[in-house]
Amino acid sequence: MTRVLSVASECAPLVKTGGLADVVGALPGAMAALGDELRTLIPGYSAVPIGGRVVAKFDDLFGGPATVEAMDHAGLDLLILRAEHLFDRSGGLYIDAFGADWPDNPQRFAALSYAAAHIAANGLGDWQPDLIHGHDWQAGLVPEYLAQMGCDTPFILTVHNVAFHGNTDAEAMESLRLDPARFHAHHYEFWGQISALKAGLMGAAQITTVSQTYAEELMTPHFGMGMDGVLRHRRHDLTGIVNGIDTEVWDPATDPEIKPYTTLKGKAANKAALQAEFELPKAPGPLGVLVSRLTDQKGIDLLLDSLHVLLERGGQLAVLGSGDPSLEVALLERADREPNLAVKIGYDEALSHRMMAGGDSILVPSRFEPCGLTQLYGLRYGTIPLVALTGGLADTVINASPAALARKVATGVQFSPITAEALANAFGRLCDLYADRKVWTALQRNAMKQPVGWDTSALAYHKLYEATASNA
């Protein structure tokens, strides 16, 4: 058994902005089945329930008093960092009500990293972690604080999205309690700035990311977002482990948000209900669904430029998401002109389940996608993924090529290069496949048979935990 302190800025079902929270929330249960014990440290945002047992105190944690509370919630063994001056505020987890980053984000998540290092160095009663598993830049400063505290607990960093570095000016060194002697290329210095992600990448005993293809992409200038050189330097300690999904929460046979089904015949009722909910008419083509942040990274601009092919072939699209205001407006204005396009701005977890159950195809046209969970939900529900050939999308969807169709292993449609023209061609292929009911039904059945849970990935993490802890 390995005792692991998992450190993250969000965790489902308590606080969530994306797939990171789902992974952090699902990992403890998956690892418990293999005998590993995870306790998850997250910030005490205003949305996080109160009432835990205080297990650590700080008189001054980056500007004010703080405590760590232990709490069991939704099957999770949680440690909540309560610091009102840092986390108890209205607005988003990372941004204010106007969409701007909180100016003290460097201090907020430095505090999270500092608390994690403190727990590793001092323990919590009779519990002390064998290693720390941090997620993204918000946990990146853990190795710096471990070094200051003289603690040799090993640190594993998982990169969910390398685009976010947690950079701040070098002048913040003192306020972040960083050792100025370590402000150089082998620790946390990055082009003259402090970089929390760089600190984590350089200080980690092992680095993981969320798919094998993304691990390879990260070492290239195009996908590495400036960190490709660092990751090439650490390439022998970099592993790709694809994410899984919670197959109890996402199960078409028991999902309370839908009309449950175990056969494809039952899926039709969910499609009709979804069309009614989005006020879409019946149509001869496939009903595409998109549940996404509305950003260029997610390929929404490409979708707008190629959508006419799907609509001209009798298809439809239902969209749920929010993001770039210009893309939100473009989608809404397009929906006003197109009877077979419906858009809801915002996020609704229950509606996302209904969309997954009622859609014929889930669209994920991302320019880059480290792993992606949406396509895994689609596979689970027999909703055929149409995806860009990148990152985890490449690793989890088997393209409906002639060879894959002949071998009866295809599960979706991939397109490359990642352009509007290629996406338009993919819409044409999707409609052709949908028109052949025998082929389409085979695709759906193949999709629903795919292993999308945590079993394989949890075993990979278990082995990594074991090896890292034993080599410390």
Annotated binding residues for ADP-alpha-D-glucose, written as ranges, equal 16
Q: Which two tokens stand for residue 145?
A: 């604080």
Rounded CA gap, 257 and 191, in Å?
49
C-alpha pair distances (Å), 322 with each of 185, 195, 328, 445: 37, 28, 7, 31
Half-sphere exposure of 298 toward its Cβ, with a 13 Å CA cutoff?
20
Binding-site members are 16
Sheet-wide strand order for 155-159? 53-58, 66-73, 76-82, 37-43, 3-7, 131-135, 155-159, 206-209, 238-240
- In sequence order, which ranges of 288-348 are alpha helices (DSSP H)? 300-312, 325-337
* Contact assessment for residue 311 and residue 339, using Cβ atoms and an 8 Å cutoff: no
Residue 125, sorted as left (phi over 0), alpha (psi -120 to 50) or beta, turns out to be left
- In sequence order, which ranges of 191-324 are alpha helices (DSSP H)? 196-203, 212-217, 221-224, 228-233, 264-277, 300-312
E strands of 148-286, at which residues? 155-159, 167-169, 189-190, 193-195, 206-209, 238-240
For the chain, the maximum distance between any two Cα atoms, rounded to a whole number of angstroms, is 67
* Interstrand relation of 206-209 and 238-240 (parallel, antiparallel or unpaired): parallel
Q: Which two tokens stand for residue 125?
A: 């009663």
AA letter at 437: R
Backbone angles phi, psi at 457, to 5 degrees: -70, -40
Q: Which two tokens stand for residue 314?
A: 């009798």
> Residue 238 forms beta bridges with which residues?
207
* Contact assessment for residue 173 and residue 163, using Cβ atoms and an 8 Å cutoff: no
Let me know how long the chain is.
Answer: 472
Q: Which two tokens stand for residue 384?
A: 């055929």
E strands of 278-388, at which residues? 287-294, 316-323, 341-345, 361-364, 384-388
> Residue 41 forms beta bridges with which residues?
7, 79
The SS3 call for residue 235 is helix
For residue 166, which of 174, 177, 176, 156 has the smallest C-alpha distance?
A: 176
